[in-house]
């Protein structure tokens, strides 16, 4: 058994010996993106398992060890990890827990400390907690994010965005059930294998692969009339994680609508852009600003390649660029509003409305204060300016029942279908042939 080693502050370290013996458990947020991250970590020599558990016991474990005033995503993530250690069939003396540490103003910066307190309370403080961060906050001898790994991870995130985008436009219409998910699995495997051979990690190669992905998903047989589209926005974890939003995308599919989920790339650019804004608003090192601008420019270039591939496919709708989002939100929120999802969340709702997806579910987790301001707090303003917008804020917390959440969404969908029928009827009645038929009938 690996020897437990502590640093000078008393923090339990994840050692090189542990890397050989321990299984690292990681929570899931974006199923496609994190699935590729898991494989990349495994290829780097780590034993990693991504948790996909989804049951009430996770919430109960979270409530047992996390203060109920803490934000709901923290409660879920910590509850899922502890539930896995207790009931997942692992040797608790041979597991470590992976968790992100942002270092920003969000409570997510404190997840790692809350998790350690929970383990101590549960009598399992011998389990190492490994920080996944790019800020140098906590270091471990047995775990590090090398530059080659970070490069692969960033490309995986952008490829993941395109895959999810086209998959969401195909899945509601697929003739053969499961064909879209099979294509996702095939491309995820192909991309990770390519990364290990140094493929797919240049702008030129990426442009080619983006088009191949669009072509392959466009080849999946589909049928049926276009469905009502429903956008999903909100706090990043509850927006993306099936555990966090009670399988919201699956529910919308079962209700016969097409889910539209803004991707992660804008959020990545947003976080880099905030570093630039910090220097402009509050002062700081110009070298830091310049480095962030170079990195941001590169990611924005990749995003434009993705958008061009979607447009050129003549099959898929393409989102706007990050700069388009900045323009849309002017007059609503300032760029210094950057805690949590900041102004980006409001901008995503505006983009959805402007692109014809006027029905929106805004996921609101308990305890996420910034999200309530830039999400729920902006809905009235948006509805005043865009009367056809049909936005519902859904609260997610330990006491909220799935049936109540789904009933509120069904009410929104009923309104969406009513508006769609009304627009179809109005459109038909203004067509020349319909008008002439009414006139002929009146004269007769």
pLDDT tens track for 274-327: 999 999 888 888 998 999 999 999 999 999 999 999 999 999 999 999 999 999
- Contact at 8 Å (CB) between 19 and 143? yes
Angle 335-338-339 from CA coordinates, rounded to 5°: 160
Residue 232, domain member (yes or no): yes
**Alpha-carbon distances, residue 438 vs 57, 428, 442 (angstroms):** 62, 12, 6
For tokens 């809350």, the residue is 114
Instruction: Give the per-residue pLDDT at 427.
Output: 52
Average pLDDT score over residue span 317-340: 94
- For the four alpha carbons of 240, 245, 41 and 190, in that order, the dihedral sign comes to negative
**Which of 24, 11, 27 is CA-nearest to residue 120?**
11
Q: The domain that contains 33 carries what CATH number? A: 3.40.50
399 vs 66: CA distance, rounded Å = 15
Out of 105, 124, 144, pick the residue that ends a domain.
144
Domain range for residue 94? 16-144
178 vs 221: CA distance, rounded Å = 12
Residue 179, domain member (yes or no): no
Helices (H) and strands (E) in the chain, counts: 18, 8
Exposure of 235 in the CB half-sphere (CA atoms within 13 A): 30
286 vs 293: CA distance, rounded Å = 10
Q: Are residues 127 and 236 in the same domain?
A: no
Average pLDDT score over residue span 196-216: 96
Q: Kindly state the tokens that stand for 175.
A: 């003739």
**Alpha-carbon distances, residue 62 vs 69, 77, 84, 126 (angstroms):** 12, 8, 12, 19
Instruction: Give the per-residue pLDDT at 437.
Output: 53
Residue 214, domain member (yes or no): no
21 vs 100: CA distance, rounded Å = 22
Whether the per-residue pLDDT at 422 is higher than 80: the answer is no
Residue 274, domain member (yes or no): no
Whether the per-residue pLDDT at 438 is higher than 80: the answer is no
Q: Are residues 251 and 386 in the same domain?
A: yes
Q: Are residues 108 and 247 in the same domain?
A: no
Q: Are residues 134 and 237 in the same domain?
A: no
Whether the per-residue pLDDT at 441 is higher than 70: the answer is no
Residue 9, domain member (yes or no): no
Q: Which helix (H) or strand (E) holds 25?
A: strand 23-26
Residue 129, domain member (yes or no): yes
Residue 105, domain member (yes or no): yes
Out of 100, 129, 144, pick the residue that ends a domain.
144
Out of 115, 144, 173, pick the residue that ends a domain.
144
**Has this prediction a pTM greater than 0.85?**
yes
Q: Are residues 244 and 126 in the same domain?
A: no
Over pLDDT 90: what percentage of the chain? 79
Residue 419, domain member (yes or no): yes
328 vs 351: CA distance, rounded Å = 7
DSSP state of 13: P
Number of structural domains, the chain?
2
CA dihedral of residues 309, 313, 319, 321 (deg, nearest 10):
30
């Amino acid at each position: 058994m690996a020897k437990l080693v502590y640093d000078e502050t008393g923090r339990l370290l994840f050692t090189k010996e542990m890397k050989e013996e321990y299984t690292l458990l990681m929570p899931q947020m974006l199923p496609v993106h994190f699935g590729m991250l898991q494989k990349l970590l495994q290829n780097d020599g780590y034993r990693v398992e991504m948790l996909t558990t989804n049951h009430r016991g996770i919430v109960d474990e979270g409530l047992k060890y996390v203060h109920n005033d803490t934000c709901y995503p923290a409660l879920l993530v910590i509850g899922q990890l502890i539930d896995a250690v207790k009931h997942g069939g692992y040797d608790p003396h041979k597991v470590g827990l992976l968790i992100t540490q942002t270092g920003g103003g969000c409570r997510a910066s404190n997840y790692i400390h809350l998790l350690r307190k929970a383990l101590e309370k549960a009598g399992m403080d011998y389990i190492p907690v490994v920080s996944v961060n790019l800020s140098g906050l906590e270091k471990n001898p047995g775990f590090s994010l090398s530059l080659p790994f970070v490069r692969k991870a960033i490309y995986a995130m952008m490829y993941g965005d395109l895959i999810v985008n086209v998959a969401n436009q195909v899945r509601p219409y697929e003739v053969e059930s499961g064909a879209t998910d099979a294509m996702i699995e095939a491309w995820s495997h192909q991309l990770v294998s390519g990364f290990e051979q140094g493929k797919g990690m240049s702008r030129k190669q990426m442009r080619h692969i983006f088009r191949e992905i669009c072509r392959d998903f466009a080849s999946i047989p589909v049928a049926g009339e276009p469905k009502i589209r429903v956008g999903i926005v909100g706090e990043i974890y509850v927006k993306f994680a099936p555990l966090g939003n009670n399988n919201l995308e699956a529910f919308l599919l079962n209700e016969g609508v097409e889910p539209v989920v803004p991707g992660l790339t804008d959020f990545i650019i947003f976080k880099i852009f905030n570093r630039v804004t910090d220097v402009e608003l509050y002062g700081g090192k110009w070298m830091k600003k310049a480095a962030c601008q170079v990195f941001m420019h590169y990611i924005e270039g990749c995003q434009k390649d993705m958008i061009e591939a979607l447009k050129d496919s003549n099959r898929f709708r393409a989102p706007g660029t990050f700069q388009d989002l900045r323009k849309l939100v002017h007059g609503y929120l300032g760029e210094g509003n950057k805690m949590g999802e900041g102004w980006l969340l409001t901008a995503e709702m505006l983009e959805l409305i402007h692109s014809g997806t006027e029905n929106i579910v805004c996921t609101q987790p308990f305890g996420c204060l910034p999200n309530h301001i830039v999400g729920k707090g902006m809905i009235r303003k948006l509805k005043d300016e865009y009367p056809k917008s049909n936005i519902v804020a859904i609260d997610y917390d330990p006491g909220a029942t799935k049936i109540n959440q789904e009933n509120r969404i069904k009410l929104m969908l009923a309104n969406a279908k009513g508006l769609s029928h009304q627009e179809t009827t109005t459109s038909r009645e203004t067509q020349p042939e319909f008008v002439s038929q009414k006139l002929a009938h009146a004269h007769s």
